[in-house]
Amino acid sequence: MKHQGMKANQANNLRKNKEVSDQAGRRHFLGKALASVAVGWVSSTGLSWAIPPAKPVEERYKIAVCDWMILKRQKLGAFQLTKDIGADGVEVDMGGLGNRETFDNKLSDPATRQQFLEKAAALDLEICSMAMSGFYAQSFAKRPTVERMVQDCLATMQAMQVKVAFLPLGVQADLVQHPELRSVIIKRLQTIAPEAEKAGVIIGLETSLDAAGEGQLLEDIGSAAVQSYFNFANALQNGRDVCQELRMLGKDRICQIHCTNQDGVWLQDDPQVDMPKIKQTLDDMGWKGWLVIERSRNANNPHDVKGNFSANTAYLKSIFQST
């Protein structure tokens, strides 16, 4: 009897151990299954809950293209082409000028402005500046309705939350060729500057002067709302050292940069442009902002818009956004 009781106890113990083992096995299996499901879910959702997405890096230097130079002046298609080119933003022109009293500005229409803003947002692009490229050919010094033209630009900038306007003095107001226009140009800019100050925007002035001359011009205008819109080509085509000119102007007087040379070869093939040295100079100055591609098209294929601007964009990004 005693022997039979011991056998019964052993059987009970074996049964209990098996139950415990089975329960542990089920828990282990369920744990592995749940883990597999979780891993699969996390993988399919791009680790959306397990690892918080990294915040996008705010680039010190951003690359843009001019809409009129990619043959999309004030056209909605400029944004998709810019995206295809690989740039971060667009410099949008104010439209043609000719003999009009002001720019042929389609963005004065609220509905058109909204389309532009929505398209830029959808493609994750920025409008880095508004350009008054009409003054390349028209005289800022002599046109009677200049004040209205610039006010129209400032109003468009405010409506689109753009902070920089590009104003080239161009051929007819070239202060090297026409120094007699200096006082008129200063007076006009002094009249316009308070409006820019009030709007919280900057008018970026492109001249043919060297850095010393342009710096003095800015001093004479006397407003922080009028700064230099530096153009590499102006320095290079006049035999000046780009880096020296940049340092002389200083970071606080340069609002934006047209970072190309005249047409001929791409930037990466241009012996006149030492881009790594230019970047180091801008780094040392503490400057940051938009580098805008205007020219440096391959002379053998100047009409290949996407090819030319894509090549220059990729090269600039390899130098300025490589880290």
Instruction: Render pLDDT for 269-296 as a digit per residue (tens, 0 to 9).
Output: 999 999 999 999 999 999 999 999 999 9
Helix ranges (H only) for the chain are: 2-44, 77-85, 110-122, 146-160, 182-199, 211-221, 232-236, 242-249, 275-285, 305-320
Report residue 78 CA to chain centroid gap: 14
Query: Quick one: pLDDT at residue 8?
Result: 43
DSSP state of 66: E
pLDDT at res. 122:
98
The residue among 4 and 304 whose pLDDT is bigger is: 304
Instruction: Give the pLDDT band of residue 23 (cuts 50, 70, 90).
Output: very low
Q: What is the largest CA-CA distance in the chain?
A: 129
Q: How confident is the model at residue 126 (pLDDT cuts 50, 70, 90)?
A: very high
In degrees, rounded to 5, the angle at the alpha carbon of residue 222 between the alpha carbons of residues 63 and 164 is: 25
Rounded-to-integer distance, Cα 93 and Cα 84, Å: 19
- Using the predicted structure, report yes or no on whether residue 7 has a pLDDT greater than 50: no
225 vs 55 pLDDT, higher one? 225
Q: In this structure, what token pair is assigned to residue 73?
A: 């002046």
What pLDDT is stored for residue 56 in this prediction?
52
* C-alpha dihedral sign at 12, 18, 24, 27: negative
pLDDT attached to residue 323: 64
Token pair listed for 105: 């500005």
Q: Give the percent of the chain with pLDDT over 70.
A: 82
Give pLDDT, residue 57: 60
Residue 322: per-residue pLDDT: 79
Confidence of residue 58 (pLDDT cuts 50, 70, 90): confident
Check if the beta carbon of residue 169 is closer than 8 Å to that of residue 190: no
Q: In terms of pTM, does the model score above 0.85?
A: no
Distance CA 204, CA 226 (A): 6
Cβ burial of 86 (10 Å; 0-12, 13-18, 19+) is middle
The pLDDT score that the predictor gives to residue 149 is: 98
Least confident stretch, 8-17, 29-38, 101-110, 172-181: 29-38
Over range 31-52, report the average pLDDT: 37
Q: What does DSSP assign to residue 251?
A: G
Average pLDDT (197-211) is 98
Instruction: Please report, for residues 54, 209, 225, 231, 281, the alpha-carbon distance to residue 241 in angstroms, rounded to integers and kept in the order given.
Output: 40, 13, 26, 12, 12
Residue 227 pairs in a beta bridge with: 204
